[in-house]
Chains A and B, each alone.
Chain A
Amino acid sequence: MSNVQELICITCPKGCVTKVWKEKGDIKIEGKICKKGKGYIKQEYIEPKRMLTSTVVVERSAVKRLPVRTREAIPKKKLFVAMDQLCEIRVKPPVNVGDVIISNLLNTGIDVIASDDLW
């Protein structure tokens, strides 16, 4: 059982601690966990995902940064590469909240969108 991971459930503030491993293609969870938590822990074991929130540089405005986020969670391992890509972005007003800033970020199929208006 070399692939055992200790994962903490964050579905609620209780923070249940579990041990997770793969056995004959099945994911096994040791530790008391609720139904909702089970789904989270499984996903976290297979491929942890996070929503990325950051800012991009604004040009031609008194505002210096525009907050942005991925529309949905992206694989955790891509967070830093995604940050590098956000560094390259320059936006100018006007931008509306929800506007696509980068489409299909790193071929994840997920867009980066504006979190605020920029006038």
Chain B
Amino acid sequence: MATALHLDLAIIGSGPAGLAAAVKAKQLGIKDLVVFERNERPGGILPQCIHNGFGLQKFEEELTGPEYANRYMQMAAENYVDIELDTMVLEIDKNRTLTAVSEYRGLRTYQCKSIILAMGCRERPRGAIGIPGTRPAGVFTAGQAQRMVNIEGYMPGETAVIQGSGDVGMIMARRLTLEGAEVKAVTEIQPYTSGLIRNEVQCLHDFDIPLLLRHTVAEIHGDKRVEGVTVTEVDAGWNPVAGSEKFIECDTLLLSVGLIPENELSKMAGVILDPLTGGAYVNEFLETAVPGIFSCGNVLHVNDYVDEVSTEGEIAARGAQHHISGKLSGEKNLIAIEGDKTIGQIVPQAISGQRPVTFYIRVKRPMDKLTLRIGDVFEKKFAYARPGEMMRVRLPKKVFAELKSTVTRLNVSCEER
């Protein structure tokens, strides 16, 4: 194999996290950087997200996915960001050696001073939730259907049931309806929708699409093509309620049952994952357990808003800059951050206490009039919290000033008043 090429920074993925990281890194003076993108165009999932609602924080405008990607591509071009398209990163290791392959450059090895992981997430497929029944054509994940309709220009079917009320599922309910299909129901196993209220109103209520809470698809029917599904009510333990089965005729079933951070490469490098987020354990610079390797965006934890994804990319870029200049060399004496039973997930999972930090917190169940506490150093009141909406809490450096150096852990909890 040829000798390794050297890079200050390798960014894996050119979606909203990777592009924002690249632009920020250039602005911070990191010249020697490459973004690796396996697709033929940059932007990640954004080109197929043609609906609006992107960019309210970053651009103070309501943009569509392609427009948001376009803005970042323009900034990348203005900052001379080098994006290697059609290039698949095959392997990274704990010494930050990266192996990538492309048709026109062949196999290449890079020795990187730092790496930013920005590979995004993948949809949970049918197999992951184990729906019984036959295996006919016509079962798609919501994102797959979104690609078919918005990029390829064809419809996955004429009558659909959507399992799961995730945002992509609800957005596809509207999209299919506008394109002339009939969406007969959206089923959600939880007693509340797992997406944003805005999507429930504008995608389901607007088109009189029934949302069946505490319901699930119990069986898929059909030989060659989906002919219908049996939906059933579930109890608090998600067990089917006997006698509640109902057959719904349809030719398509879409699944919007959750997203999983795509960490295959991270694992190769020895990055330690948090079972709650499915992403890496990180400190306030989004640096993983492997010094010099950072993680941001949906590969770190699944976000609700693209703007947050880009902001994380920027934080990781700043971390990489610190690492390259030797100001950050595997932070020691970290304080572990641990959520109690009210907390679904929290990022970062460890902090140094040396600088301000932004926490991203998801509660486990809907709560109203609550107080969030972080150890005994921070307390904030919220009118409400929803699992579908990540909370963002910024702690200034001064809150750590009184913290004793012997503190090794801070508990995070929410309590309704």
Residues of A with Cβ closer than 8 Å to B? 8, 10, 13-15, 50-55, 57, 64-65, 67, 69, 76, 79-80, 83, 97, 115-117
Q: Nearest chain B CB to A1's CB is how many angstroms away?
A: 21
B66 lies within 8 A of A97 (CB): yes
8 A-B pairs with C-beta separation under 8 A: A8-B201, A8-B205, A10-B198, A10-B202, A13-B197, A13-B384, A69-B50, A117-B70
B197 lies within 8 A of A67 (CB): no
- Kindly supply a per-residue 1/0 record for chain B positions 138-180, scoring 1 wherever the CB is within 8 Å of any chain A CB and 0 otherwise: 0000000000011111000000000000000000000000110
Residue of B nearest to A116 (CB): B66
- Known A-B contacts A13-B196, A67-B150; the reply to A53 vs B51 at CB < 8 A is yes
B residues in contact with A14, CB < 8 Å? 197, 383-384, 386
Residue of A nearest to B384 (CB): A14
A residues in contact with B179, CB < 8 Å? 54, 83
- Residues of B186-242 at the interface with A, using a CB-CB cut-off of 8 Å, are 196-198, 200-202, 205-206
B206 lies within 8 A of A69 (CB): no
A13 lies within 8 A of B66 (CB): no
A116 lies within 8 A of B153 (CB): no
- Residues of B14-67 at the interface with A, using a CB-CB cut-off of 8 Å, are 47, 50-52, 62, 64-67
- Known A-B contacts A8-B205, A67-B66, A116-B67; the reply to A55 vs B178 at CB < 8 A is no
Residue from B52, B151, B206, B384 within 8 A of A53 (CB atoms): B52
- In whole angstroms, what is the CA distance A67 to B150 when docked? 7
- In whole angstroms, what is the CA distance A116 to B389 when docked? 28
- In whole angstroms, what is the CA distance A117 to B198 when docked? 28
- Known A-B contacts A65-B153, A83-B179; the reply to A13 vs B389 at CB < 8 A is yes
- In whole angstroms, what is the CA distance A53 to B47 when docked? 13
Q: How large is the interface on B (under 10, 10 to 19, 20 to 34, 35 or more residues)?
A: 20 to 34
- Known A-B contacts A14-B384, A53-B64, A97-B67; the reply to A64 vs B152 at CB < 8 A is yes
B47 lies within 8 A of A116 (CB): yes
Residue of B nearest to A65 (CB): B153
A residues in contact with B339, CB < 8 Å? none
B residues in contact with A65, CB < 8 Å? 150-153
Tell which of A8, A51, A116 has the most Cβ of chain B within 10 Å: A116
A115 lies within 8 A of B201 (CB): no
B178 lies within 8 A of A79 (CB): yes
Q: Nearest chain A CB to B372's CB is how many angstroms away?
A: 16
- In whole angstroms, what is the CA distance A80 to B153 when docked? 18
A54 lies within 8 A of B178 (CB): yes
A residues in contact with B384, CB < 8 Å? 13-14
Residue from B64, B70, B153 within 8 A of A69 (CB atoms): B64
Residue from B65, B153, B205, B388 within 8 A of A55 (CB atoms): B153
B67 lies within 8 A of A115 (CB): yes
B202 lies within 8 A of A115 (CB): no
- In whole angstroms, what is the CA distance A97 to B61 when docked? 15
Q: Nearest chain B CB to A50's CB is how many angstroms away?
A: 6
B202 lies within 8 A of A50 (CB): yes
Residue from A51, A64, A67, A83 within 8 A of B62 (CB atoms): A51
Tell which of A14, A67, A76, A79 has the most Cβ of chain B within 10 Å: A67
Q: Nearest chain B CB to A74's CB is how many angstroms away?
A: 12
- Residues of B60-106 at the interface with A, using a CB-CB cut-off of 8 Å, are 62, 64-67, 70
Tell which of A14, A52, A79 has the most Cβ of chain B within 10 Å: A14
B residues in contact with A83, CB < 8 Å? 178-179
Q: Nearest chain B CB to A70's CB is how many angstroms away?
A: 9
A13 lies within 8 A of B64 (CB): no
A-B pairs, top 6 by smallest CB distance, nearest first, are A15-B197, A116-B66, A67-B50, A13-B389, A10-B198, A64-B153
B150 lies within 8 A of A97 (CB): no
Q: Nearest chain A CB to B166's CB is how many angstroms away?
A: 15
Residue of A nearest to B48 (CB): A67
- In whole angstroms, what is the CA distance A13 to B383 when docked? 11
Residue of B nearest to A98 (CB): B67
- In whole angstroms, what is the CA distance A53 to B149 when docked? 13
- In whole angstroms, what is the CA distance A38 to B156 when docked? 39
- In whole angstroms, what is the CA distance A23 to B51 when docked? 36
- In whole angstroms, what is the CA distance A83 to B207 when docked? 14
- Residues of B378-397 at the interface with A, using a CB-CB cut-off of 8 Å, are 383-384, 386, 388-389
- In whole angstroms, what is the CA distance A64 to B153 when docked? 6
- In whole angstroms, what is the CA distance A68 to B262 when docked? 30
Residue of A nearest to B70 (CB): A97
Tell which of A10, A64, A80 has the most Cβ of chain B within 10 Å: A10
- In whole angstroms, what is the CA distance A10 to B64 when docked? 18
Residue of B nearest to A70 (CB): B52
